[in-house]
Structure 1
Amino acid sequence: MRIVLTGGGTGGHIYPALAIGRQMRQSDPESELLYIGTERGLESRIVPEAGVPFEAIDITGFKRKLSLDNVRTIIRFFRGVSRSKQLLRSFKPDVVVGTGGYVCGPVVYAAAALGIPTLIHEQNVDPGLTNKFLSRYASVVAVSFEASLSRFGKEGQKAVYTGNPCATAVLQAERGRGLASLGLRGGRKLVLCVGGSRGAKAFNEAILDMAGELETLRDIQLVFVTGEIYYEQTLRRLEAREGGRPDNLHIRPYIHNMAEVLADAALVISRSGASSLAEITALGLPSILVPSPNVTANHQEANARSLVDAGAAEMILERELSGERLLETIRLVTSDKARLAAMSEASLGLGMPEAAVRIAAELQRIVGRA
């Protein structure tokens, strides 16, 4: 099968597309992939590193208020459609997969105009503007959260609950290797705190604020991923405090083998991006979620709420985050075995570990139907 992948701007759009591509190659080693993105987005670096052929179009997103820039964006959109048609005619795909971000707009629209089957994947509970627009043209709308099925209006009849394809990859991680890679031993619960690939200032401040009391939680070891830009500063501030760094607090700038570390964790403290939640629930991990307030339409809070309502997570809004609040929440969750087990069971119940396989099956179906 020949497959065009498109999605960009952030890792939350790129990694699901690549996960679908990997699954298709596993299902059919002769599958051929082409990724269409923008030169400005992270995809221009991440996709070639993943060994997937990459082509670029020039497109930008719409502003949420009236602006002359939006007129220019409309012009770029139709130019992007024209360029996309050229690429599609040349590659001759059997299907086009869009995972969100404004670059999907012209590519999926062009594919629909050419009669090529299309699937769009929505990672968040509340659909993004591009996917809501594209839902009227797509053959199938795949969603990560069951709650999203009713949020595509009359196009909801095309929606299929598949889960997030990023969930599939974490299940291949071998337990025990994550702890070993960090130089840690078992015996105490591993609590992993990560504020995203670049880190989060609010997380750093909370961890610094609670450091003096962390040693009171003797049954846990906390691994805190600062993000590279915060690492040196955080380390200096910890070493400078009276008493130094607690012996059950371990600081890392970045973790490259995140799937292995997650596999060894007992509790995760995290933002609530869709891909992160897919990995957490695939493994059945309890979590403390601090949604980023700096995202479109506050979609991370809606994502987090879906886990909280199911009993799989606790949520702390960033404006309410403090060292004291975070420490107490960690204590409440980790000190109660029954609560930890119930949260784990609820988390696992939300997980869709075979998401990539489900999406691959949908692709086979719509190609066969065309």
Structure 2
Amino acid sequence: MRLIVSGGGTGGHIYPALAIIEDLLKQEPDSEVLYVGSKRGLESSIVPKQGIDFIPLEIQGFKRSLSMDNFKTIKLFIKSVKESKNIIKNFKPDVVIGTGGYVSGAVVYAASKMHVPTVIHEQNSVVGLTNKFLSHFVDKIAIGFNEAADQFPKEKVVFTGNPRAQQVANMQSDFKWSTIGLSDDIPTVLIFGGSQGAPVINKAVVDSINDFNSRNYQVVFVTGQKRYDGVMEQIGDQTVNSNIKILPYIDNMPSILPKVSLIVGRSGATSIAEITALGIPSILIPSPYVTADHQTKNTMSLVNNDAALMIKEDELTGTTLVEKVDSLMNNDAQRNQMAKNSLELGVPDAADRVINVFRSLK
């Protein structure tokens, strides 16, 4: 198979794309894959490191307020569509798939106008602007949450789950907590506000240190690389007992997740795919600053199935955080049931499902 993949801007668009590519190459090693991304997005550094052919386009998103920059955005989109048509003409793909982000808008739109089979994958429960636009042109739409179905033309929609879930579920982990100075025999909570860290989560944890010091479970607190020094300054001369480990970043997160008893963090689509793939109980703190409050809607898909608890950001304090964590870490039966419910929501063959969608179009 010859496949063009486009998706970028954030890891939430990139990692599902990489999971699809990885699974396709396992199934069909002779396949040829080209990734078309943006020059400024994370994909420009992440994708080439995976040994995948990569072509960058210069493109940007619309400003939500009136701005002269939007004229430049339109000009760059038109230019990117033209460049994409040349790329498609030269590569001759069997299928083009977009996983979100502005760059996929130009690439997938160009492919549809050239009558090349097209698929988009929507990771979130609330549809992004690019995929909403592309839904009128593509042949099939794969979705990660059933809640997204009624936001698209129903005859095009196929529920697949998030391909990242399959990638994580298939990973083998030999990680031990002892490698970072903790015990391998004590239940462990991971608190993680995303790769950049989340200041409101970090502050709540700092305010909780004295309480966590006395607990019979372990806490791994990941601050975010850029926020570590600031967090350590806030902690100051507070005692941090040996059951707590504070880290700036974890670069092998998928290998650590299977060892976690409870995860506390944001509820982006990729995070939820990883959590449900492994059946991890969670306390989710959705960011209220994302488009259409989609993280809250993502969260509710787990909360409504008794697979997670939610703390709204404006209700998050050191006290509420400790209360929620204690309620689960001191109740093995509830935590185990939540783990089971979480696993039932996962789609361990999501990448296979997406691949089957675009195979049906060849």
TM-score normalised by length of structure 1? 0.94
Q: Name the structure 1 match of 2:112.
A: 112
| CA displacement, residues 35-76 of structure 1 (integer Å, 9 cap, x when unaligned) | 111111111111111111111222211222444332332222
- The one of 242, 261, 276 aligned to 2:256: 261
Q: Percent identity?
A: 46
Q: Name the structure 1 match of 2:191.
A: 193
Q: Compute the RMSD of aligned alpha carbons.
A: 1.4
Q: Name the structure 1 match of 2:298.
A: 303
Q: Name the structure 1 match of 2:180.
A: 182
Is the 1:170–1:263 contact (alpha carbons within 8 Å) kept by the matching residues of 2? no
Q: Name the structure 2 match of 1:342.
A: 337
| CA displacement, residues 141-181 of structure 1 (integer Å, 9 cap, x when unaligned) | 001111111121xx122111101011112123335524244
TM-score normalised by length of structure 2? 0.96
Q: Name the structure 2 match of 1:324.
A: 319
Q: Name the structure 1 match of 2:9.
A: 9
Is the 2:197–2:227 contact (alpha carbons within 8 Å) kept by the matching residues of 1? yes
| 2:27 is the counterpart of 1:32 | no
| CA displacement, residues 74-127 of structure 1 (integer Å, 9 cap, x when unaligned) | 222221111100011111111111000111111001001111111100010000
Deviation at 1:236, TM superposition (A): 4.3
Q: Name the structure 1 match of 2:141.
A: 141
Is the 1:140–1:158 contact (alpha carbons within 8 Å) kept by the matching residues of 2? yes
- For the residues of structure 1 that align with 2:53 and 2:307, how far apart are their CA atoms? 39
Deviation at 1:293, TM superposition (A): 2.1
Deviation at 1:207, TM superposition (A): 0.8
Q: Name the structure 2 match of 1:214.
A: 212
Q: Name the structure 2 match of 1:60.
A: 60
Gaps spanning 5+ residues in structure 2: where?
A: none
- For the residues of structure 2 that align with 1:144 and 1:106, how far apart are their CA atoms? 22
Gaps spanning 5+ residues in structure 1: where?
A: none
Worse overlay, 342-351 or 165-174: 165-174
- For the residues of structure 2 that align with 1:92 and 1:176, how far apart are their CA atoms? 42
- The one of 341, 349, 352 aligned to 1:354: 349
- For the residues of structure 2 that align with 1:105 and 1:208, how far apart are their CA atoms? 41
- For the residues of structure 1 that align with 2:85 and 2:176, how far apart are their CA atoms? 45
Task: Give secondary structure in 1 for the equivalent of 2:136.
Answer: coil
Task: Give secondary structure in 1 for the equivalent of 2:158.
Answer: strand
- For the residues of structure 2 that align with 1:196 and 1:137, how far apart are their CA atoms? 33
How many residues are matched? 362
Is the 2:142–2:160 contact (alpha carbons within 8 Å) kept by the matching residues of 1? yes
- The one of 225, 232, 235 aligned to 1:238: 235
Q: Name the structure 2 match of 1:277.
A: 272
Deviation at 1:296, TM superposition (A): 1.8
Is the 1:123–1:145 contact (alpha carbons within 8 Å) kept by the matching residues of 2? yes
Corresponding letter in the other structure for 1:225: V
Deviation at 1:204, TM superposition (A): 1.3
4+ residue stretches of structure 1 with deviation over 6 A? none
